[in-house]
Amino acid sequence: MSKLTLLSDSDEILPLARRLRDGIARETPLSTLIEKLASWGARLLASRTCNVPGAAYLSMWLRRENLQRLLEADFGCAVSGMLGVPSAFPKEPMGNSSFIKPVGIVGHWTAGNVDLQAVLSGVCGLLGGNANLIRVPSDQRAHIEPLLACLAEDDSEGALSSRLAFISFPSDRVDLHEAMARHVDGAMIWGGDEAVRAVRALPFPTWARIAVFGPRYSLALMDALTWSNPATRKTWCDRLARDVWLYEQRACSSPQAIVLERGNEDPREFVRDLADSFRAQNKRVPRRLMEPADALTVLKARADWLLKAQAHTAEMSFAPDWTILVGEGSALPQAAQHRTLVVTIVDRLEEFVASLDGVTQTMGVAVADAGREAALAQQAALRGVDRIVPIGQMHFFNSPWDGQMLVKGMTRTISYARSRHQEEA
């Protein structure tokens, strides 16, 4: 179903679930699904949908090569067999074998802070061979509907739409949440603490596979050699600005702070270059609308920071378009979001990384020495950080995410041992 369905009665979910199970029964080859997804992505750029925020990124993410890389990250060389290519693996002894099957219907509860999440999560379930029942938050309907209209134009045979059902209903309709949970075999749950707890409490079948992607904090760090180098500093500042702008810092992968290692140069040089990058990015991607409450949040964050310590400084636009708060130490404030970045200076990156915990999802890095960067990555991983990526790539949606395989998590590995009479034959 390549359109968004608005639900008002819990009885409407059963027919959707039946249609999705019929879609699974088709057993469409994975290679066909990938071709259809890539075609959808290409059409997004060729149509008026390209003006929808995030459509260009989605088009790139849906490219055949990227989807195959996603599968290879989850399944390794076994993906060749899934794509219909003969496997190079020898058969298991004694006639035993294993193969991969979907869990069935996967329910997707997506967060309201990332516009593309409903599509991205649904595609991950689809690549595992599943049918997908995807709840779209009410305030994202206008964003998702043009993308689905483009899919309808490209999927006339229903290879994708028979396995995708996008639905929407008010978040306070517990009866609809419960009905949705009863009809799924797996769930991918995205959102804040309260939302995640509410969904996990729903009456899922006992066999349901549950994957939770809850609230996290992300940051960047840069060593003294990197930020002190004027030849490359501007490039890193531009990349960081792009990471800050995307999703208005509301995504779990959004950098809320950058940690600079103290060096011989004046860090104000870095802050000036970063402010220039923020100004340029603000011209390229001006904010379409800012709610009064969000503006007050930014103004309060500015005031609280400057009043907290005499050494604190800031670079900011006159309007609450962007803000850079500058200080020292490993203690970081709560995320203000809305293009508000904390720049904090520490003596040693290793000491800062040692203070991290599992709340940190993504750490964007720019470290001159490859060996030191690798050591910092290992240290951060032991402290609970799940993603260590270059600054500028903090939002690229790939597997694993939050330490979990995005596609493989919603599949089953089936063990099959031949019966004795077949072995003898």
Q: How many CB atoms lie within 10 A of CB 86?
A: 7
Nearest by Cα to 323 from 248, 405, 230, 400? 248
> Domains, the chain, ranges and CATH?
4-214+406-417 (3.40.605.10), 217-390 (3.40.309.10)
Q: How confident is the model at residue 334 (pLDDT cuts 50, 70, 90)?
A: confident
Q: Give the distance, in angstroms, between the CA of residue 82 and the centroid of all CA atoms in the same chain.
A: 24
3-state SS, residue 166: strand
pTM here is: 0.90
Mean pLDDT within 58-71: 95
Check if the beta carbon of residue 332 is closer than 8 Å to that of residue 357.
no
- Calculate the alpha carbon distances from 335 to 247, 252, 273, 296, 341 in Å: 14, 11, 22, 14, 9
Per-residue pLDDT band at 53 (split at 50, 70, 90):
confident
What is the 3 state secondary structure string of 331-357?
A: CCCCCCCCCEEEEEEECCHHHHHCCCC
Phi, psi of 88 (to 5 degrees): -85, -5
Burial 160-199 (b: 16+ CB within 10 A, else e): bbbbbbbbbbebeeeebbebbbbbbbbbbbbbeeebbeeb
Average pLDDT for the chain = 92
pLDDT for position 94: 47
Among 214, 215, 211, which Cα is nearest to 256's?
215
